[in-house]
Amino acid sequence: MQHRFKCRAKLTTGQYLTLEAGSLELQGQLVAGRDLTLKAQHTIDIRDSVTAPFVAQAERNLTVQGNQSIDILVFNHPKAALQSGGNLNLISNGNISGNTHFLSGGDITVSTNKGDISLNGSLISSVSSYSTTGNGGDITVSTNKGDISLNGSLDSSVNSYSTTGNGGDITVSTNKGDISLDGSLISLVFSYYGISRNGGNITVSTTNGSLSNRSSLISFSTSLRNSGNGANITLSTTNGNLSNQGIVYSFSSAQENSGNGGDIILSTTNGNLSNQSNLYSLSYSVTGNSGNGGDIAFKAQNGDILGNGSSLYTFSGPQGTARNSGPVSLEAQNQLSALTSNTAEGGTVSIVGQGDLAIADLVIQTSKPVTLNTGVTGSITIPSDRTGRSGDVRISSIGNLTLTNSRIQSDTKGSDSLGNITFTSSGLVTLNQSQILSSTISTGTARNIGIHTGDFSLLNGSSINSSTSASG
């Protein structure tokens, strides 16, 4: 016999509070001075109303465990219906539906073994203080077998007037199921007058399923003095398509010295990769020295890459001593289209085709000066007098290699040399309505343009040009 416990009352204790039954139907208010545990062998259903908002609040840890399912539909609390000073856990072997906001002073875990997860609210684990702070909590949403749908913010941020801790890591994963993100995933570290530490890693992965992202993904360390590193952002699926429509930032930004931008990786082994938004990995200093831009990689080993007019930026700048841009690597089976890659000092670009690779509407720029608007820091200009050579461009394919309506440009108005541009194919290399340019109008040196192939063809106004127009 299933024992069902219904609670519509206000229960408050300065110690531990535990409600356990076959099933729980909860309304009202539950407040514990220490841990609060809600546990059911079968289902947990939580509801509220405009006149009686639900709240479950623990000074320390809050655990909601419904072995068959958890169903929460409460949006009438002015802040967050489920709150914990420590860790906040939702655990099940079935479906988890969370239509509410969650607020935690520790880690947040939403986990099920065999079931779907649908969250239509914010999961916030943040730290704010006038003095030195600790770390933001990690946020984990995972199922072994089921779909994940997130329609709200996952936020692990740290704010302080003094030195901060690190932003927490954010992980969303399923072994067998689709993932859909629509909102924002943020690990932000901000200090007004002290040192900001590192932003947290953001990882979204499915082994067998598709991944669709419409969220903003942001790992950001910023300070009015010195900042730490932006962390890595990874979207991956092994067997399925990957679609990204959300803007992606991994930043370090500071008034004085900034850290490194993190790596940004989008990958699928057996599927197509579609990107429709810009990606930024930057280190930006207003008056001091900046770190390195991070790596940016698109990998579709047995599929195609569709850029849909999007751009990839990895930079270091603009004042003081700037380090290198990170490398950009693109790997596809047969098709790569409508993508722009922008790097400056040392930022190599590598494209690998696993078959007959057709490249269309591609722009690669490893040049200075460069101006971009990130939407976060405003307009940034990498000046032409910055030291460091432009990065190399290497494009290779196992089979034929065709570039259509594409442009590869490595130029500088500064004193350092340009990067090499190299094409390698065991078959035919064809340039169709495409231009390859390596030029300098100052003291820098133009570099080699190499084509290693058995056959080569220039069609429809295509050109290759390496030139100097000053003392280079």
**DSSP readout, 323-336?**
-PPPPEEEEESSEE
Residue 293: which of 321, 311, 316, 327 has the closest Cα?
316
| Radius of gyration, CA atoms only, the chain | 26
Question: Are the beta carbons of 123 and 108 closer than 8 angstroms?
Answer: yes
> pLDDT tens digits for 426-459?
999 999 999 998 877 655 565 689 999 989 999 9
CB 304 within 8 A of CB 336: yes
3-class SS at 469? coil
Neighbours of 386 (CB within 10 A): 21
Beta strands in 34-125 (DSSP E): 36-40, 43-47, 55-58, 62-66, 69-73, 82-84, 88-92, 95-99, 102-104, 108-114, 117-119, 123-125
Q: What is the pLDDT of residue 286?
A: 87
List, as own/partner pairs, every contact residues 100-103 make where C-beta atoms lie below 8 angstroms and the sequence separation is at least 24, other chains included.
Answer: 100/46, 100/72, 100/73, 100/74, 100/75, 101/75, 101/77, 101/152, 103/79
Find the helix or strand (DSSP H, E) in which 436 lies.
strand 435-440
Q: Do strands 202-208 and 233-239 pair parallel, antiparallel, or not at all (unpaired)?
A: parallel
Phi-psi map region of 433: left, alpha, beta (phi>0 left; psi -120 to 50 alpha): left
**How many Å apart are CA 146 and CA 169, to the nearest integer?**
22
Query: In 3D, which of 409, 321, 421 has the Cα closest to residue 368?
Result: 409
Determine which helix (DSSP H) or strand (DSSP E) holds 221, and give its type and residue range.
strand 216-223
The model's pTM is 0.95
Quick one: which of 108, 1, 110 has its CA closest to 65? Answer: 110
E strand intervals along 344-434: 349-353, 357-366, 370-373, 379-382, 393-397, 401-404, 407-412, 421-425, 428-432
The pLDDT value recorded for residue 316 is: 84
**Do the beta carbons of residue 331 and residue 302 sit within 8 Å?**
no
- As a whole number of angstroms, the distance between CA 313 and CA 280 comes to 5
The burial class, CB within 10 Å (0-12 / 13-18 / 19+), for 433 is middle
- Counting Cα atoms < 13 Å in the Cβ hemisphere of 53 gives 12
Query: What is d(CA 32, CA 306) in angstroms, rounded to the nearest whole number?
Result: 52
The answer to whether 72 and 65 have CB atoms below 8 angstroms apart is no
pLDDT along the chain (472 residues), means of 10: 81 96 96 98 95 95 98 92 97 97 97 97 86 87 98 94 92 98 95 92 98 97 94 98 97 93 98 96 90 95 96 82 86 95 79 97 80 69 60 93 94 67 95 90 67 95 80 50
- The pLDDT score that the predictor gives to residue 150 is 98
For residue 296, the 8-state DSSP code is E
